[in-house]
Structure 1
């Protein structure tokens, strides 16, 4: 009897405000191990957003429009609940530092305990460890160019900042 092969699907959650070259690297590297990645744009009330949820989803849908192995959606629930809904067996996360590791390990342990969903952790490439959406947002607020921190093809909505 032949075993049914299940697609290896991961949810890659984040606020992605904005999506950086570090995020893109994680998606590209994740696709070497996974069949599909769902880039899940979450709502985080604890963070002040620069781009609206709709703008972030639109930017990412446009960025990945030619990649059938990447889906983009928004969500407002526990990441593990989204993973179950999307039949994803994994959550994809990136780690830039030791501080990230402690936080991500705790979340991964809880997620596995309450849902059985495993977390795949990829370490950020050294040349991207200094890049964060928080820093890119700050640069944007002060009118600085940020293209060097964004994936080729990501188009940011226009803002009139001072």
Structure 2
């Protein structure tokens, strides 16, 4: 089956409704009779749930969103690719709706709002090799400013 993409050319990016990411725990914890516990890693790739809101300025956008959800995603069953803002910036992620959206809700007599929770295929974190270079990760804003100032685009 071909990959499905969110229609970025026709619909706006969603906004995080409460700005929280909820990753699934990657380990199993077993309580011991001594009162201590044993923990072990089960997975290296775990999904993360993100609550989102969509605001559509046009009635046609709301109509298209609902039809896209029904027809392209088979009523939310299918995985798709969408840009989502995370601590890594706005990136393309593999996503899936955890349940049907809520809405439409008419706001201010002209905007249509939908809310839903999606799950990202994996946690939005930097790749493992970057943990060897904490200065570059923690101070990446300084490097970015220097690059843009010293080597601006022509």
What range is the shorter-chain TM-score in? under 0.3
TM-score between both structures, scaled by the size of structure 2: 0.23
Query: Greater share of strand residues, 1 or 2?
Result: 2
User: Relative contact order (alpha carbons < 8 A, sep ≥ 6): 1 or 2 greater?
Assistant: 1
TM-score between both structures, scaled by the size of structure 1: 0.23
Query: Greater share of helix residues, 1 or 2?
Result: 1
